[in-house]
Structure 1
Amino acid sequence: MAGDVLEMAIPKEEQEEIKEFISTLLVLPKEDRAVLLSNANAFRVRRDIEKAKR
Protein backbone atom coordinates (compact mmCIF):
# COMPACT_ATOMS: atom_id res chain seq x y z
CA MET A 1 0.00 0.00 0.00
CA ALA A 2 2.78 2.47 0.86
CA GLY A 3 4.42 1.63 -2.47
CA ASP A 4 1.23 2.59 -4.29
CA VAL A 5 1.14 5.97 -2.56
CA LEU A 6 4.82 6.51 -3.34
CA GLU A 7 4.24 5.75 -7.03
CA MET A 8 1.37 8.24 -7.14
CA ALA A 9 3.38 10.99 -5.43
CA ILE A 10 6.77 10.52 -7.14
CA PRO A 11 7.15 9.70 -10.83
CA LYS A 12 8.93 6.40 -11.60
CA GLU A 13 11.91 8.20 -13.19
CA GLU A 14 12.46 10.29 -10.06
CA GLN A 15 12.17 7.18 -7.88
CA GLU A 16 15.05 5.62 -9.82
CA GLU A 17 17.16 8.76 -9.38
CA ILE A 18 16.45 8.72 -5.64
CA LYS A 19 17.46 5.05 -5.41
CA GLU A 20 20.73 5.76 -7.24
CA PHE A 21 21.46 8.73 -4.97
CA ILE A 22 20.84 6.68 -1.83
CA SER A 23 23.00 3.84 -3.15
CA THR A 24 25.82 6.32 -3.69
CA LEU A 25 25.37 7.79 -0.21
CA LEU A 26 25.61 4.36 1.38
CA VAL A 27 29.10 3.72 0.00
CA LEU A 28 30.50 7.12 0.99
CA PRO A 29 32.18 7.96 4.29
CA LYS A 30 29.96 9.66 6.87
CA GLU A 31 31.59 13.08 6.38
CA ASP A 32 31.11 13.02 2.61
CA ARG A 33 27.46 12.02 3.04
CA ALA A 34 26.94 14.98 5.35
CA VAL A 35 28.36 17.39 2.76
CA LEU A 36 26.25 15.98 -0.08
CA LEU A 37 23.06 16.01 1.98
CA SER A 38 23.74 19.55 3.14
CA ASN A 39 24.24 20.71 -0.44
CA ALA A 40 21.12 18.88 -1.60
CA ASN A 41 19.10 20.54 1.15
CA ALA A 42 20.45 23.97 0.24
CA PHE A 43 19.56 23.37 -3.40
CA ARG A 44 16.02 22.33 -2.44
CA VAL A 45 15.54 25.42 -0.30
CA ARG A 46 16.82 27.63 -3.11
CA ARG A 47 14.40 25.97 -5.55
CA ASP A 48 11.51 26.44 -3.13
CA ILE A 49 12.38 30.13 -2.73
CA GLU A 50 12.42 30.56 -6.52
CA LYS A 51 9.01 28.88 -6.79
CA ALA A 52 7.60 31.14 -4.08
CA LYS A 53 8.84 34.24 -5.92
CA ARG A 54 6.87 33.26 -9.05
Structure 2
Amino acid sequence: MNCLRITKKATKCVIISEQRTKSNSPLGILKKRFASGQIDVEEFHRLKKTLEEL
Protein backbone atom coordinates (compact mmCIF):
# COMPACT_ATOMS: atom_id res chain seq x y z
CA MET A 1 0.00 0.00 0.00
CA ASN A 2 1.32 3.45 -0.88
CA CYS A 3 1.15 5.86 2.04
CA LEU A 4 2.16 9.45 2.47
CA ARG A 5 5.11 9.79 4.82
CA ILE A 6 3.87 11.97 7.64
CA THR A 7 3.81 11.61 11.41
CA LYS A 8 0.45 9.83 11.39
CA LYS A 9 1.33 7.22 8.78
CA ALA A 10 -1.23 4.61 9.84
CA THR A 11 -4.11 7.07 9.75
CA LYS A 12 -3.11 8.36 6.33
CA CYS A 13 -2.79 4.81 4.95
CA VAL A 14 -6.32 3.99 6.03
CA ILE A 15 -7.69 7.16 4.44
CA ILE A 16 -5.89 6.47 1.15
CA SER A 17 -7.09 2.86 1.21
CA GLU A 18 -10.70 3.96 1.81
CA GLN A 19 -10.52 6.47 -1.04
CA ARG A 20 -9.36 3.79 -3.45
CA THR A 21 -12.11 1.45 -2.29
CA LYS A 22 -14.77 4.12 -2.81
CA SER A 23 -13.53 5.01 -6.28
CA ASN A 24 -13.49 1.33 -7.27
CA SER A 25 -16.97 0.67 -5.90
CA PRO A 26 -19.82 0.19 -8.39
CA LEU A 27 -21.09 3.70 -7.66
CA GLY A 28 -17.58 5.14 -8.00
CA ILE A 29 -17.15 3.46 -11.38
CA LEU A 30 -20.57 4.75 -12.46
CA LYS A 31 -19.59 8.30 -11.46
CA LYS A 32 -16.35 8.02 -13.43
CA ARG A 33 -18.23 6.82 -16.53
CA PHE A 34 -20.64 9.75 -16.25
CA ALA A 35 -17.84 12.26 -15.69
CA SER A 36 -15.93 11.00 -18.72
CA GLY A 37 -19.01 11.20 -20.96
CA GLN A 38 -19.37 7.46 -21.49
CA ILE A 39 -23.01 7.63 -20.29
CA ASP A 40 -25.55 10.44 -20.25
CA VAL A 41 -27.45 11.77 -17.23
CA GLU A 42 -30.53 9.59 -17.83
CA GLU A 43 -28.41 6.43 -17.99
CA PHE A 44 -26.50 7.54 -14.89
CA HIS A 45 -29.69 7.95 -12.86
CA ARG A 46 -31.15 4.68 -14.15
CA LEU A 47 -28.03 2.71 -13.24
CA LYS A 48 -27.66 4.48 -9.89
CA LYS A 49 -31.23 3.55 -9.01
CA THR A 50 -30.51 -0.06 -9.96
CA LEU A 51 -27.44 -0.10 -7.71
CA GLU A 52 -29.41 1.34 -4.79
CA GLU A 53 -32.00 -1.44 -5.14
CA LEU A 54 -29.39 -4.19 -4.77
Larger Rg: 2
- Asked if these proteins are the same fold (TM beyond 0.5), I'd say no
Taking structure 2 as the reference length, the TM-score comes to 0.44
Between the two structures, name the one with larger relative contact order (CA 8 Å, sep ≥ 6): 2
Higher helix share: 1
